[in-house]
């Protein structure tokens, strides 16, 4: 295989289907690394990236073009693979290492990035799969070796999904208050990320989990991964059912949808002193009566993917304890367009992982 020629699936216009592209790569410089992609998970945010932005409510769209993305865009930010070429200054990884790639890159040099919080960098994003070419390709160039996390004996397909679904779920539940066995946590939206949160909470938290999703298959899957209760948010009495079943003890609600209806449900569910963590980027506006904040002494916090350190923690955790596993569907990378369509239509349970 020629490690200087990347075969990528990229869209040439916002909203267009992905097409095969061929790109020459220079020899890796400094601490750059080339990774041969063996697995790349498909994420729901790819649908937004493909459209060029996120729905900010009131008909407004955030612009990825203003955020530094340039056409053609090669998506794919859940990248697992093997190191095949390293720059002359690379010291900590070597050719042949099996890695998951941290994709949420910032400028790489500011104090925020140096602390491992690249995802919160204010100086300009260089995310793999948005601004820089991502993993819908056979090769990926990573700007610095520190963004590679060795996976040891972990299943590489599963480890790839840690880079977004895994750390997004892990970063969100890490923000929840300490919960006891009498407490409940609501997980709203049980796609790949929400289902991972259900699985992680079942393994790590003492609280009982209520899964909320309109799809009966996803509700049933969530219960197999440890949810004590699963509720259809479309049911007329959904909020009342959950509050009653928990004894009005929902300490935290994580909204993996991020729509007006889901955030309204989340704030309605939590008890006094509770916390809502908003993760999803479906879009819309947050509408909650202002007096609810003081009257419930409620906290609302946003959570956006997570840092490099959290990816390292999650990989270490997965090596130490057996985490319940969300279903993965493997497909050849040539089926990327069909897979994105299936995801848009809600036909995916768990995660689709592509292989070049």
If the CB atoms of residues 34 and 168 are measured against Zn ion, the closer one turns out to be: 168
Cα–Cα dist 225/210, whole Å: 11
Neighbours of 287 (CB within 10 A): 11
Q: Which part of the chain contacts Zn ion (CB under 5 A), choosing from 81-89, 159-167, 197-205, 206-214?
A: 159-167
Tokens linked to 173: 């539940």
Q: What is the Cα–Cα distance from 37 to 39, expressed in whole angstroms?
A: 6
Token couple for 125 = 């994003």
Give me the least distance between CB of 311 and Zn ion, in Å please: 13
| 110 near Zn ion (CB under 5 A) | yes
Kindly state the smallest distance separating residue 35's Cβ from Zn ion, in Å. 18
How many degrees, rounded to 5, is the angle at CA 174 between CA 168 and CA 179?
Answer: 135
Residue whose CB is less far from Zn ion, 269 or 318 = 318
Nearer to Zn ion among residue 218 and residue 275 (C-beta): 218
**Position with the least CB separation from Zn ion:** 43
CB-CB contact of 312 with 289 (8 Å): no
Nearest to 211 by CA among 192, 227, 235: 227
By CB under 5 A, tell whether 196 contacts Zn ion.
no
Residues between 62 and 81 with contacts to Zn ion, criterion CB under 5 A: none
Q: How far is the CB of 288 from Zn ion (least distance, A)?
A: 26
Binding span for Zn ion by CB under 5 A among 101-109, 266-274, 318-326, 344-352 = 101-109
| C-beta of 123 vs 338, nearer to Zn ion | 123
The nearer residue to Zn ion, 93 or 125, going by C-beta atoms, is 125
Cβ nearer to Zn ion, comparing 259 with 270: 259
Q: Which of 25, 47, 56, 107 binds Zn ion (CB under 5 A)?
A: 107
For Zn ion, which stretch binds (CB under 5 A), given 121-129, 220-228, 238-246, 250-258? Answer: 121-129
Alpha-carbon gap, residue 270 to 247, rounded angstroms: 11
Query: In whole angstroms, how close is the CB of 281 to Zn ion at the nearest point?
Result: 9
If the CB atoms of residues 25 and 107 are measured against Zn ion, the closer one turns out to be 107
Burial 275-285 (b: 16+ CB within 10 A, else e): bbbbbbbbbbe
Least distance in angstroms from the C-beta of 112 to Zn ion: 5
123, 240, 287, 347: residue in contact with Zn ion (rule CB under 5 A) = 123
The answer to whether residue 197 forms part of the interface with Zn ion (CB under 5 A) is: no
Question: Rounded to the nearest 10 degrees, what angle do helices 260-269 and 238-245 cross at?
Answer: 30
Query: How far apart are alpha carbons 211 and 221 in whole angstroms?
Result: 10
Minimum CB–partner distance for residue 103 and Zn ion (Å): 8
Could you say which of 53, 106, 143, 283 contacts Zn ion (CB under 5 A)? Answer: 106
Q: How far is the CB of 353 from Zn ion (least distance, A)?
A: 13
At closest approach, how far in Å is the CB of 76 from Zn ion? 10
Binding residues for Zn ion restricted to 21-50, rule: CB under 5 A = 43, 45
Residue 139 makes CB contacts below 8 A (sequence gap 6+) with 3, 5, 6, 7, 25, 34, 35, 36, 37, 84
How close are the terminal C-alpha atoms of the chain, in Å?
13
Strand residues in the chain grouped as ranges (E): 5-10, 19-24, 33-41, 55-57, 60-61, 78-86, 98-101, 139-142, 148-150, 184-188, 208-212, 229-231, 250-255, 275-278, 299-302, 328-332, 351-355
Q: Toward Zn ion, which CB reaches closer, 193 or 227? A: 193
Q: Which helix (H) or strand (E) holds 104?
A: none
Contact residues: Zn ion, CB under 5 A: 43, 45, 106-107, 110, 113, 121, 123, 164
């Amino acid at each position: 295989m020629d490690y200087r020629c990347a075969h990528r699936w990229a869209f040439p216009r916002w909203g267009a289907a992905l097409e095969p592209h061929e790109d020459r790569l220079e020899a890796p410089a400094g601490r750059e690394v080339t990774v041969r992609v063996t697995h790349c998970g498909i994420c729901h945010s790819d649908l937004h990236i493909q459209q060029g932005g996120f729905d900010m409510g009131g008909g407004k769209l955030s612009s990825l073009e203003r955020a530094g993305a340039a056409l053609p865009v090669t998506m794919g930010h859940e990248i697992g693979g093997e190191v095949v070429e390293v720059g002359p200054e690379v010291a900590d990884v070597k050719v042949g290492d099996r890695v998951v790639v941290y994709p949420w890159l910032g400028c790489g040099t500011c104090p925020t990035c140096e602390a491992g919080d690249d995802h919160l960098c204010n100086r300009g994003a260089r995310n793999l799969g948005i601004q820089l070419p991502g993993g819908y390709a056979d090769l990926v160039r990573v700007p610095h070796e520190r963004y590679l996390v060795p996976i040891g004996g972990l299943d590489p397909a599963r480890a790839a999904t840690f880079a977004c679904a895994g750390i997004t779920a892990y970063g969100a539940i890490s923000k929840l208050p300490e919960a006891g066995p009498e407490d409940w946590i609501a997980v709203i939206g049980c796609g790949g990320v929400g289902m991972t949160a259900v699985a992680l909470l079942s393994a790590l938290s003492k609280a009982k989990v209520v899964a909320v999703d309109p799809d009966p298959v996803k509700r049933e899957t969530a219960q197999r991964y440890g949810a004590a209760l699963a509720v259809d948010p479309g049911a007329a009495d959904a909020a009342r059912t959950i509050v009653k079943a928990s004894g009005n003890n929902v300490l935290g609600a994580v909204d993996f949808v991020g729509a007006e209806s889901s955030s309204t449900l989340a704030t309605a569910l939590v008890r006094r002193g509770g916390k809502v963590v908003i993760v999803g980027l479906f879009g819309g506006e947050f509408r909650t009566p202002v007096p609810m904040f003081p009257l419930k002494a409620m906290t609302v916090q946003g959570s956006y993917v997570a840092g490099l350190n959290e990816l390292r923690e999650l990989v270490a955790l997965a090596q130490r304890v057996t985490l319940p596993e969300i279903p993965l569907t493997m497909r050849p990378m040539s089926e990327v367009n069909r897979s994105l369509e299936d995801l848009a239509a809600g036909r995916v349970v768990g995660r689709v992982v592509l292989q070049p």
